């Protein structure tokens, strides 16, 4: 009998080991296949081709490829600003591409990113090639982009959702009071509105003032751009929004001059096909993913300008498993060190698209920007938002280039600590503490914070703010008093920031690259894109595991998931932060 069990266990163990080996080999096979699929291959378009830009999904600076999505044929809803700009540039220079067809869908992007694409399309039109846009339904962002086209068509039963901009803040103070939780707030900055949802039940006058200021500034730019492209007036654009015509049939959009004609999709595609000189029955297009890989003539120079992307909230190593959003960690600081030591890299463009976050991580990245500047030029290119911690990591650069609608500044700092005494009382939960020193239990949520503890924390916050404005003053060649006068947590648009001395020039990443080349005295160079992503294998499995967790929680919580996500971020966030007052809403 003993021999029988030995043989049985040996067989079972062998089967398990064999299965494990098979699974491991399968995983590596999948990784190899997906990695090879993600490798760009040179593309040569056929004659009379049309570049199709499908505005469907969320736009970010850099796209994170999902190998599983590629393998399973799932639709990837993430768009890359970098890829779109490169595709438009290659399409302009290709004799085989006759025009661009923009197909509007459920598109989500910041106005600064859309501005960058509009500029690229405007430049494309100088080649004499056509640009046509069609949409079953235009979101505000997709229409803002499509309005630059030669012709803008909309489905006869579609909608143009041009309504204007709004900003809504949710306040948690009442909810926390009912739960018996008091948030102790420590901050420096009159305009540092990130803490207001936990201490007020409506916007402060100062916060309302700043939101109104930058939001109206952005909307003025958007309406002016639409009016110029459509050859109508700003008043015409605002009239459409104010009358609520977004809910009306698209004839109103036609009457107001926002579109050229009502067409069904096959009719619009037939028009594009004729413009391109295609003779097939159906319109043939090529996507951004292919056109971006048209092999351009590369210069012979060995000199390189690196573009390092810093996108997302600034966090420490541990991030929330309930968010798949991009984040900035000390990985960016490590990449800056590598770029400093790489002699082939003659200049660096740091692309910042961040509302801020951890003050500690911001300081580590700032330090490496400063160290790199001692060796070679570094220029910051600001995206949709580069505020608070996003400005912190930018301020030491040689030059800062921002879009007119970039949200930046927000030079301030805050900390939040919960007091859960009320909640503990509600559920009859008690604690007892034994300690060796006065402040050994500092931050204990089960008791009210003492006045001496509050003084210590407020002192640390004020010290952090003094460090922040010192970094900005040193980087911008200004006095601390001057920085403080435009700091205090105040958010500025790029246009406003250049007047305040926080930004050097207005423009996109192409302008930042040109500035970097000039500072490095380079006329011939290659661009190298640097990503702060994790190791491929580790990132692949961690991402898939997090997606499983995320989907389970979403299914269970439904509409309440966003509230849970916010509260979870509060719990996992570092105590001291430099962050924008709210989550920037896309157009």
For residue range 38-73, list pLDDT tens digits in order: 455 788 899 999 999 999 999 999 876 555 444 444
Count of helices and strands (H, E) across the chain:
21, 21
Region for 384 from its dihedrals, namely left if φ exceeds 0, alpha if ψ lies in -120 to 50, beta otherwise: alpha
Mean pLDDT of 433-439: 95
The pLDDT assigned to 72 comes to 47
* Other Cβ atoms within 10 Å of 188 Cβ, number: 23
The pLDDT assigned to 297 comes to 62
What are the beta bridge partners of residue 350?
308, 380
Does the structure show a pLDDT above 90 at 547? Answer: no
Does the structure show a pLDDT above 80 at 1? Answer: no
Q: Return the structure tokens found at 578.
A: 């430099």
List, in sequence order, every beta strand (DSSP E) within 275-333. 286-287, 304-311, 313-314, 327-328
**Structure letter (DSSP) for residue 294:** B
Mean pLDDT of 121-147: 97
Supply φ then ψ for residue 183, to 5 degrees.
Answer: -95, 120
| DSSP H or E segment with residue 242 | helix 234-242
* Other Cβ atoms within 10 Å of 15 Cβ, number: 10
Supply φ then ψ for residue 44, to 5 degrees.
Answer: -125, 110
The pLDDT assigned to 344 comes to 95
The pLDDT assigned to 442 comes to 93
Does the structure show a pLDDT above 60 at 478? Answer: yes
> What is the three-class DSSP state of 126?
coil
Supply φ then ψ for residue 407, to 5 degrees.
Answer: -95, 120
Residue 50's nearest CA partner among 213, 290, 339, 244 is 290
Does the structure show a pLDDT above 90 at 101? Answer: yes
Does the structure show a pLDDT above 50 at 5? Answer: no
Q: Which of 94, 112, 354, 388 is catalytic?
A: 388
- Higher-pLDDT residue of 555 and 82 is 82
Query: If pLDDT is split at 50, 70 and 90, which confidence band does 581 have?
Result: low
- Could you confirm whether 338 is annotated as catalytic? no
The pLDDT assigned to 556 comes to 56
Q: 575 to each of 200, 209, 570, how far by Cα in Å?
A: 19, 27, 9
Q: Which of 63, 192, 340, 500 is catalytic?
A: 192
Does the structure show a pLDDT above 50 at 348? Answer: yes
> What is the three-class DSSP state of 494?
helix
Mean pLDDT of 186-206: 89
Does the structure show a pLDDT above 60 at 571? Answer: no
- Higher-pLDDT residue of 560 and 218 is 218
List, in sequence order, every beta strand (DSSP E) within 294-393. 304-311, 313-314, 327-328, 345-354, 356-358, 378-387
Query: If pLDDT is split at 50, 70 and 90, which confidence band does 536 have?
Result: very low
**Structure letter (DSSP) for residue 488:** T
> What is the three-class DSSP state of 206?
helix
User: Which range is least confidently modeled, 30-34, 267-271, 338-342, 574-578?
Assistant: 30-34
Does the structure show a pLDDT above 70 at 121? Answer: yes
- Could you confirm whether 388 is annotated as catalytic? yes
Alpha-carbon gap, residue 356 to 260, rounded angstroms: 42
Average pLDDT over the chain reads 86
Does the structure show a pLDDT above 90 at 351? Answer: yes
Does the structure show a pLDDT above 60 at 324? Answer: no
């Amino acid at each position: 009998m003993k021999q029988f069990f030995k043989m049985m266990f040996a067989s079972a163990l062998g089967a398990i080991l064999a299965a494990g080996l098979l699974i491991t080999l399968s995983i590596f096979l999948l990784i190899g296949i997906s990695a090879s699929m993600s490798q760009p291959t040179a593309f040569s378009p056929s004659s009379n081709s049309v570049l199709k830009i499908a505005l469907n999904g969320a736009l970010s600076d850099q796209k994170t490829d999902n190998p599983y999505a590629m393998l399973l044929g799932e639709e990837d809803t993430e768009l890359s600003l970098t890829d779109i700009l490169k595709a438009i540039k290659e399409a302009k220079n290709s004799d085989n591409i006759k025009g661009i067809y923009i197909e509007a869908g459920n598109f989500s992007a910041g106005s600064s990113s859309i501005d960058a694409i509009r500029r690229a399309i405007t430049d494309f039109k100088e080649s004499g090639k056509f640009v046509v846009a069609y949409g079953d339904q235009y979101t505000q962002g997709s229409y803002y982009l499509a309005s630059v086209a030669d012709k803008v068509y909309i489905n006869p039963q579609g909608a143009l959702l041009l309504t204007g901009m709004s900003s809504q803040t949710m306040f948690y103070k009442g909810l926390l009071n009912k739960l018996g939780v008091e948030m102790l707030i420590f901050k420096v900055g009159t305009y540092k509105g990130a803490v207001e949802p936990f201490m007020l039940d409506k916007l402060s006058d100062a916060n309302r003032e700043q939101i109104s200021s930058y939001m109206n500034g952005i909307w003025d730019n958007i309406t002016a751009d639409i009016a110029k492209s459509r050859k109508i007036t700003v008043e015409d654009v605002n009239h459409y929004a104010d009358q609520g015509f977004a809910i009306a049939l698209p004839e109103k959009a036609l009457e107001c001059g926002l579109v050229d004609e009502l067409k069904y999709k096959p009719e619009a595609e037939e028009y594009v096909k004729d413009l391109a000189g295609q003779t097939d029955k159906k319109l043939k297009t090529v996507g951004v993913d292919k056109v971006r890989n048209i092999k351009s003539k590369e210069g012979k120079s060995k000199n390189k300008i690196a573009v390092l992307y810093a996108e997302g909230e600034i966090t420490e190593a541990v991030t929330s498993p309930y968010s798949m959003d991009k984040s900035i960690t000390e990985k960016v600081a490590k990449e800056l060190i590598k770029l400093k030591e790489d002699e082939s890299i003659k200049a660096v463009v740091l692309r910042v698209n961040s509302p801020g976050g951890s003050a500690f991580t911001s300081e580590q990245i700032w330090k490496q920007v400063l160290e790199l500047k001692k060796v070679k030029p570094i220029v910051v290119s600001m995206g949709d938002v580069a505020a608070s911690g996003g400005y912190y990591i930018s301020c030491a650069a040689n030059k800062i280039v921002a879009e007119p609608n970039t949200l930046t500044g927000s030079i301030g700092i805050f900390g939040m600590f919960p007091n859960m005494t009320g909640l503990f009382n509600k559920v009859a939960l008690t604690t007892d503490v034994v300690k060796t020193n006065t402040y050994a239990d500092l931050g204990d949520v089960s008791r009210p914070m003492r006045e001496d503890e509050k003084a210590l924390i407020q002192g640390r916050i004020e010290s952090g703010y003094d460090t922040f404005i010192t970094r900005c003053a040193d980087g911008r060649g200004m006095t601390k008093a001057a920085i403080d006068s435009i700091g205090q947590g105040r958010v500025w648009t790029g246009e406003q920031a250049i007047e305040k001395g926080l930004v050097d020039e207005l423009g996109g990443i192409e302008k930042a690259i040109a500035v970097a080349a000039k500072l490095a005295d380079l006329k011939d160079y290659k661009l190298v894109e640097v990503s702060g992503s994790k190791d491929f294998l580790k990132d692949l499995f961690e991402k898939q595991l997090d997606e499983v967790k995320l989907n389970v929680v979403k299914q269970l919580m439904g509409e309440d998931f966003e509230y849970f996500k916010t509260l979870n971020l509060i719990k996992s966030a570092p105590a001291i932060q430099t962050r924008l007052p709210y989550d920037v809403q896309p157009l």
